[in-house]
Amino acid sequence: MDRGRGRDAMKGQRILLLGGSGYLGAQIDSCLRASQEHEVVATCFSGMIQPGWTRVNVKAAEAFAALVSAASPDVLIWALRGNDGADAQELIDIGMRVLLAHIPKQAKLIYLSTDGVFGNKQGPFTEEEEWELLDERNPLAGYCRAKIMGEQLVREQHDHHLILRFGPIYGKNVQGIWDKRTKALVSELQEGRGVVRTQNLYKSFVHVEDLGRAVAELVTSSHKGTLHLGPEEKASYYTFCRSMAKDFGYDPELVHGEILSAEKARELGISA
């Protein structure tokens, strides 16, 4: 990674935030607007339009191209995720290619990726680590494959870029929405049911507020290349869920641990 350390002297950037209505996108949007330094346009695909948002289907090539050209952003943030692997792939196949053909050459492109690009490899990872495809049996395989393709296109076609990778996101965002993992956990605990989580699968869980602030701060940084975001220490799914149970006022003993065997991991298309 090319690690510039100073902050850009320019303020008041024109920012186009793609996916501003999403779980993470809404948090980034809030952080960007809080500074009152930037001119921010955020996109949404469905749902209610908020002030400063515009509706667009990124897969509608002509309309999306017109939006990017009209916005002429200084900074463009790709916070799109997709509803599933196939949708994520379409976003890259259509939307990313349109974006790269119409984004101003001098604009900074911030592409939000995932640590899932490392497939079944065991971390910790450096920014220079080679990517690896997930086993197709893994339900996240299509999504991670699309993120890898997005990284490749960004590197090949737009010099002024910053690719951000991070682990699972958790917490309540600015709209009061919790991540799916926590909602599922709390739903089980509310019913008094115990849950089982894996003790030998580790991730760098990152809070949505921390990640939103970090992305907003990087808008005016001189960082280029690829950057990993998240806490220094990893946690197992078991440890993470016990901590969340306690935070919500439930008995952490309701979260039971299991060791995922190598055989079961292969069945699921993951590594343990």
Q: How confident is the model over 49-61, as pLDDT tens digits? A: 888 899 999 999 9
Q: Is residue 86 part of a domain?
A: yes
Domain check: are 85 and 220 in the same one? yes
221 & 264 share domain: no
Q: Is residue 173 part of a domain?
A: no
- Per-residue confidence band for 16, with pLDDT thresholds at 50, 70 and 90: very high
DSSP, residue by residue, 191-232: TT--EEEESS-EE--EEHHHHHHHHHHHTTB--BEEEE-S-S
Q: What is the pLDDT of residues 229-262, one digit of tens each?
A: 999 889 999 999 999 999 999 999 999 999 988 7
| pLDDT, tens digit, 9 for 90 and up, residues 193-217 | 999 999 998 999 999 999 999 999 9
What local confidence, expressed as pLDDT, does residue 36 receive?
Answer: 87
The yes-or-no verdict on residue 9 having pLDDT over 80 is no
Q: Do 139 and 81 have their domain in common?
A: yes
Residue 68 sits in which domain range?
Answer: 14-168+206-228
Note whether 142 and 85 are within 8 A (CB).
yes
How sure is the predictor about 104, in pLDDT bands with cuts at 50, 70 and 90?
Answer: very high
Other CB atoms within 10 A of residue 61 CB? 15
Same domain, yes or no: 110 and 41: yes
- Shared domain for 217 and 156, answered yes or no, is yes
Same domain, 116 and 88: yes
Burial of 232 (0-12, 13-18, 19+ CB in 10 A): exposed
Asked if 149 and 248 sit in the same domain, the reply is no
Helix (H) or strand (E) holding 44: strand 39-44
Please tell me the least confidently modeled range out of 11-20, 45-54, 82-91, 238-247. Answer: 45-54
Top pLDDT among 32 and 263 is at: 32
pTM (predicted TM-score): 0.91
H or E stretch at 170? strand 169-170
Question: Which tokens sit at 202?
Answer: 């580790």
In the prediction, which pLDDT does 5 show?
A: 35
Asked if residue 3 has pLDDT above 50, the reply is no
Question: CA angle, 106 as apex, 113 and 20 as ends, to 5°?
Answer: 40
Taking residues 76-94, report their average pLDDT: 95
Q: Give burial (CB, 10 Å; 0-12/13-18/19+) of 95.
A: buried
Residue 5 lies in a domain: no
In sequence order, the 6+-apart residues with CB closer than 8 A to the CB of 72 are: 14, 104
Q: At what angle are helices 208-218 and 23-34 packed, to 10 degrees? A: 50
User: Is 154 domain-assigned?
Assistant: yes
pLDDT at position 128: 93
Whether 178 has a pLDDT exceeding 80, the answer reads yes
Domain assignment of residue 6, yes or no:
no
User: Do residues 17 and 42 make contact, with C-beta atoms less than 8 angstroms apart?
Assistant: yes
* Pairing status of strand 202-203 against strand 75-78: unpaired
Mean pLDDT over 165-179 rounds to 97
Residue 159 lies in a domain: yes
pLDDT for 272: 54
Residue 89's SS3 state is helix
Domain count, the chain: 2
Overall size of the chain counted in residues: 272
- Judge whether residue 267 has pLDDT over 80: no
Q: What Cα–Cα distance (Å) separates residue 126 from each residue in 115, 118, 131, 229?
A: 11, 11, 11, 11
What CATH number has the domain bearing residue 100?
Answer: 3.40.50.720
The confidence band for 10, taking pLDDT boundaries of 50, 70 and 90, is low
What Å distances lie between residue 260 and 26, 40, 56, 196, 264, CA to CA?
Answer: 35, 45, 42, 11, 6
Do 77 and 120 lie in a common domain?
yes
Cβ–Cβ under 8 Å, residues 208 and 179: yes
pLDDT at 147 exceeding the cut of 80: yes
For residue 266, what pLDDT is reported?
Answer: 64
Rounded mean pLDDT, 93-114: 97
Mean of the per-residue pLDDT values of the chain: 91
CA gap 54, 45 in Å, rounded: 9
Q: 155-168, pLDDT tens digit by residue? A: 999 999 999 999 99
